């Protein structure tokens, strides 16, 4: 059953309505699964034929064949040495290949070979079980190798044209010590090394979940979006589905203050442009990372071309995707593509001499970034946000609806932008002629490293595909390579995915981990064998929750990175819109890609500044429908619900036990928790930061 996400906001609609990479930061404190080209590893359908990798890998079958050809060219006659060289070449397929091949920011021809004779600082991440570098030397030192990868960096192999160059390690290096100084190293808290086998993190017991989330109610308003002010202050923007954006000030946690927001005085009012009904309205907003300097901000909304002359764009159902608009089934009497999905740019420069001080903006568009006609009324996604490391605008788009499992198969169609996550460059606007030549949908350019550079069948805007209706995505502020989206299910399963460059998340061939067979498919089908689906890291079956309105719909959240609740730190929080239930997911071992989840109880703080209404017959707070989550510049997490705005606060305020809370609260002035750093960052831009990830936090908050 499709879910009507926004009908719950007004509480008057029928329950049968429809619901609608990156760079690895070298020198981080813990090893990250990441490929050499900054992609996240993906799940293999079947083991590679040449390299010994199954499950998570950085190579597909084509890349596996390329490694095999490179190995064959080496023409190694000694079986023992050949086996070692094969494993070394295949390390490019390891899920940790970025760290194996890039050490101290320097690319390497071979992975860092484990060398137990080196002075290890720590083997915390990986336990070194053998001196692999010495094993390579002892086995291969006198074996001729063609086009050897062990040639010193300043030495060039030369020979007659077309003639293979065979060398031995003893001809290239004076001793084993010199060889292992060049190619060997150890695992420590910052890196991993290669010991001839796929890298495996030490397994540890899954941390027990926190006793519960303690919430304080900050305001009574109902909002769909929350975005922290790019200036790093304690201000945030809220917006609603009707098209209004407000600038608000947040009180300090535990101060007893409430949200400072004047409902009668919005920052900008776009209701004349936005068409609002059930699953349609203003679904996203984003403020340029340099908003404090340039005043640029963006709104993502739906419009009605019948009611607004400027609501015009190409229909997403067209000949390019084998779809005939005239044959679309009427959607509640609407014309095909009557409703459009729009991203528009606005400016706060005209209302203040300094954009960071602007308290209002004019509702006139500066530029129309994107416009596309929608085949049906539901499943439009609509969120927009800027990537923290690349500065590009990410746009989440659902499959367009239709009520019977993406009948036109838009999500798998590489020429369609429906069921996709797009990545746009809005800082480099091409000319009108270039836009027309490239068949773009508006005023933007596409980053050169978008997946189309590897898969020419893809539209240039596409970053990832195979999604049904991504509802709330976020980048982990501590690990920007973790781009996580919740994707709403059809009848059975709600999922959470880690989004990677070119990743295919399976819809409509799969609903979460389960095969899905549509009731009808006028748009054709996609073969299971033709895709390499990436399955969810978390999620839940519809049978696991007590569903209100007979429906279920996931609401994506954030990795919790505040020390306000240290027992929740590092967990991914998400919820169900209708059930009013929340989950906390934890990755274990850390950075392994393996997640476990648990439903997490929540209570209202005894001293909440606004009293929380209780669920009838219990002491639980009545949140109503959970529309979205928000994150402020201190990394505190907020819940945007139909009953108001809530903030996650210290566990003790709800009498929850958290042994880490006292240690955090009594930390000395010289100690640096993530929260204390974030607080200092917003108040003192030149503060001396001492934690290893301080520079990352500064980058994410826009100060470096």
What's the pLDDT band for 690 if we cut at 50, 70, 90?
very low
Alpha helices in 278-414 (DSSP H): 291-294
Instruction: Give the mean pLDDT of 296-313.
Output: 96
pLDDT in tens, 511-526: 999 999 998 888 889 9
Alpha helices in 412-460 (DSSP H): 432-438
End-to-end, the C-alpha distance of the chain in Å comes to 47
Instruction: Please give the residue that has the higher pLDDT: either 54 or 563.
Output: 563
pLDDT of amino acid 118: 61
- DSSP secondary structure string for all residues of 495-523: EEEE--TT-B--TTTEETTEE---S--TT
Decide: 348 and 230 in contact? Cβ < 8 Å: no
Q: Which of 51-60, 155-164, 368-377, 485-494 has the lowest mean pLDDT?
A: 155-164
The CA distance from 618 to 660, in Å, is 29
pLDDT of amino acid 675: 34
Decide: 60 and 75 in contact? Cβ < 8 Å: no
What's the pLDDT band for 420 if we cut at 50, 70, 90?
very high
Residue 428 to residues 369, 422, 565: CA-CA distances in angstroms?
A: 11, 16, 41
332 Rama sector, left if φ>0, alpha if ψ -120 to 50, beta otherwise: left
pLDDT in tens, 483-493: 999 999 999 99
**Closest-CA residue to 483 (of 466, 495, 468, 501):** 501
What's the pLDDT band for 687 if we cut at 50, 70, 90?
very low
Instruction: Please give the residue that has the higher pLDDT: either 175 or 116.
Output: 175
Instruction: Give the mean pLDDT of 151-175.
Output: 70
Residue 195 tokens read as 């010991």
Instruction: Please give the residue that has the higher pLDDT: either 328 or 622.
Output: 622
Instruction: Please give the residue that has the higher pLDDT: either 119 or 432.
Output: 432
Sequence spans of domains, the chain: 7-24+206-604+611-660, 42-185, 667-700
pLDDT reading at 681 higher than 70: no
Q: What is the 3-state secondary structure (H, E, C) of 662-703?
A: HHHHCCCCCCCCHHHHHHHHHHCCCCCCCCCCHHHHHHHCCC
Decide: 486 and 470 in contact? Cβ < 8 Å: yes
pLDDT in tens, 191-226: 688 988 888 765 456 677 788 999 999 999 999 999
pLDDT of amino acid 588: 86
pLDDT of amino acid 682: 35
Residue 475 to residues 170, 308, 337, 504: CA-CA distances in angstroms?
A: 48, 35, 32, 18
Crossing angle of the two packed helices 61-74 and 79-90, in degrees rounded to 10:
140
Residue 203 tokens read as 């397994």
pLDDT of amino acid 620: 82
Tell me, yes or no, if the pTM score tops 0.95: no
What's the pLDDT band for 587 if we cut at 50, 70, 90?
very high
Residue 72, φ and ψ in degrees, nearest 5: -65, -35
The CA distance from 350 to 346, in Å, is 10
Decide: 423 and 396 in contact? Cβ < 8 Å: no
pLDDT in tens, 654-674: 999 898 887 555 443 333 333
Instruction: Give the mean pLDDT of 432-448.
Output: 95
- Kindly indicate whether the domain formed by 7-24+206-604+611-660 is annotated with CATH number 2.120.10.30: yes
pLDDT of amino acid 152: 84
The chain-wide mean pLDDT, for the chain, equals 85
């Amino acid at each position: 059953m499709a879910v009507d996400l926004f009908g719950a906001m007004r509480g008057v609609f029928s329950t049968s309505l429809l619901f609608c990479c990156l760079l690895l930061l070298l020198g981080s404190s813990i090893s990250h699964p990441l490929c050499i080209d900054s992609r996240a590893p993906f799940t293999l359908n079947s083991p590679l034929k040449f390299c010994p990798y199954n499950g998570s890998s950085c190579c597909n079958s084509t890349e596996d064949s390329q490694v095999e050809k490179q190995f064959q060219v080496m023409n190694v006659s000694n079986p023992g040495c050949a086996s070692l060289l094969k494993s070394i070449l295949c390390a490019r397929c390891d899920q940790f290949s970025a760290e194996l091949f890039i050490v101290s920011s320097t690319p390497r021809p071979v992975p860092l070979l484990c060398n137990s004779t080196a002075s290890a600082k720590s083997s915390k991440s990986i336990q070194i079980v053998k001196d692999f570098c010495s094993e390579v030397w002892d086995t291969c030192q006198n074996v001729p190798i063609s086009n050897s990868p062990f040639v010193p960096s300043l030495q060039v192999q030369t020979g007659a044209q077309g003639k293979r160059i065979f060398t031995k390690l003893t001809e290239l290096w004076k001793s084993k010590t010199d060889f292992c100084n060049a190619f060997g190293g150890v695992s420590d808290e910052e890196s991993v090394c290669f010991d001839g086998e796929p890298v495996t993190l030490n397994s540890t017991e899954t941390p027990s979940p926190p006793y519960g989330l303690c919430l304080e109610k900050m305001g009574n308003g109902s909002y769909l979006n929350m975005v922290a002010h790019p200036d790093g202050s304690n201000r945030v923007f809220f917006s609603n589905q009707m098209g209004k954006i407000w600038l608000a000030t947040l009180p300090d946690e535990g101060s007893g203050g409430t949200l400072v927001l004047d409902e009668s005085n919005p920052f900008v009012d776009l209701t004349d442009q936005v068409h609002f009904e059930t699953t349609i309205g203003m679904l996203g907003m984003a403020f340029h990372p340099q908003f404090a300097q340039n005043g640029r901000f963006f709104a993502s909304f739906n419009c009605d071309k019948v009611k607004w002359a400027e609501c015009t764009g190409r229909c997403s159902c067209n000949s390019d995707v084998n779809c005939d608009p005239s044959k679309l089934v009427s959607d509640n009497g609407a014309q095909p593509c009557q409703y459009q999905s729009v991203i528009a740019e606005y400016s706060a420069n005209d209302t203040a001499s300094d954009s960071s001080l602007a308290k209002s903006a004019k509702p006139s568009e500066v530029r129309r970034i994107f416009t596309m006609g929608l085949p049906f009324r539901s499943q439009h996604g609509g969120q927009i946000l800027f990537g923290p490391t690349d500065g590009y605008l990410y746009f989440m788009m659902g499959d367009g609806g239709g009520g019977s499992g993406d009948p036109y198969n838009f999500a798998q169609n590489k020429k369609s932008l429906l069921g996709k996550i797009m990545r746009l460059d809005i800082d480099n606007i091409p000319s009108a002629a270039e836009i027309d030549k490239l068949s773009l949908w508006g005023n933007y350019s596409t980053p050169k490293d978008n997946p189309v550079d590897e898969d020419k069948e893809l539209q240039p805007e596409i970053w990832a595909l195979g999604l049904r209706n991504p509802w709330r995505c976020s980048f982990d502020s501590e690990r920007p390579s973790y781009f996580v989206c919740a994707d709403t299910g059809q009848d059975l399963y709600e999922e959470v995915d880690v989004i990677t460059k070119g990743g295919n998340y399976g819809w409509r061939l799969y609903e979460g981990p389960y095969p899905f067979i549509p009731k009808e498919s006028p748009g054709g089908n996609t073969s299971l064998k033709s895709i390499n689906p990436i399955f969810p890291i978390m999620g839940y079956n519809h049978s696991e929750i007590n569903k209100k309105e007979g429906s279920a719909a996931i609401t994506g959240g954030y990795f919790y990175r505040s020390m306000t609740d240290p027992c929740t730190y590092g967990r991914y929080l998400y919820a169900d819109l209708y059930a009013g239930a929340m989950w906390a997911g934890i990755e274990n071992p850390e950075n392994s890609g393996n997640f476990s989840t648990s439903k997490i109880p929540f209570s209202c703080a005894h001293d909440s500044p606004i009293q929380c209404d209780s669920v009838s017959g219990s002491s639980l707070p009545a949140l109503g429908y959970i529309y979205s989550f928000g994150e402020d510049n201190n990394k505190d997490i907020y819940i945007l619900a139909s009953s108001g705005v809530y903030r996650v606060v210290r566990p003790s305020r709800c009498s929850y036990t958290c042994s880490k809370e006292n240690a955090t609260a009594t930390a000395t002035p010289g100690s640096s928790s993530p929260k204390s750093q974030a607080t200092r960052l917003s108040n003192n831009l030149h503060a001396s930061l001492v934690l290893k990830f301080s520079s990352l936090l500064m980058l994410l908050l826009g100060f470096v």
